[in-house]
Amino acid sequence: MTTLLPGELAWYATGRFYQASKDDLLADYGYFLHLPFIEAPLFDGGHSEKKAHFTFAAKPFKAQEIDNGALKLGRDPVGEFALYLQRRPAGNYDDPASFAEGERIATFRRTSIVIGTTVDATVGKKTASVVGTNVFSARLIASVPFEFGGRRYDLADHLGPGITQFGTAAAVPIEPAPKGYKLVLPFTGSAIALGGTA
């Protein structure tokens, strides 16, 4: 069993932020590119959401927008997200709920609000958003042992009490957005383990 030390890499993930058309609620969905403690391949073939065995889905939330010159800030409330094992990969960016299928193997709760920052840049007379960043910590509040690739795992044994994740998002929307959503932005996240005992 590989128990990560505090500050060691916990995962690389990628996904998309989705803003619903009806109520403006936000949520993020995606999959894991790398989990250092899992020894078997994370993908069933090529590297894409449709081949990923390990996915994540957030509980939708309402963000507050704050402007500060060329910086656009998003204030996200405390919320939860879950990790899933999909023995038959089914993730599909055109159907965000598909990332919440399979076996729920862990649930995390963010420890505080999250401030996301989008940077605007002006070229000539045009101003456009360029890139967004955020950082948050999340505590592991539930974990279920599972078997994968002939070995038994439990995220509580590997990550300790939780993670801190650093995110980078594109500011250019993906179009067209799936039905029911008005804005979709791609992102990547790099997390480190809090370490210690869960």
pLDDT of amino acid 156? 94
- Report mean pLDDT in 10-residue bins for the chain, 198 residues: 87 97 95 96 95 98 90 92 98 98 98 90 74 94 97 94 96 93 97 79
Residue 157 — φ and ψ, nearest 5°?
-75, -25
In this prediction, residue 89 carries a pLDDT of 98
Residues in the chain: 198
pLDDT at position 69, please? 86
pLDDT value for 2? 74
pLDDT, position 171: 86
Return the domain boundaries, the chain: 9-62+79-110+135-193
Q: What is the pLDDT of residue 106?
A: 98
Rounded Cα–Cα distance for residues 24 and 36 (Å): 35
pLDDT at 125 (0 to 100): 76
Does the pTM surpass 0.85? The reply is yes
User: What's residue 120's pLDDT?
Assistant: 79
Residue-level pLDDT at 119: 87
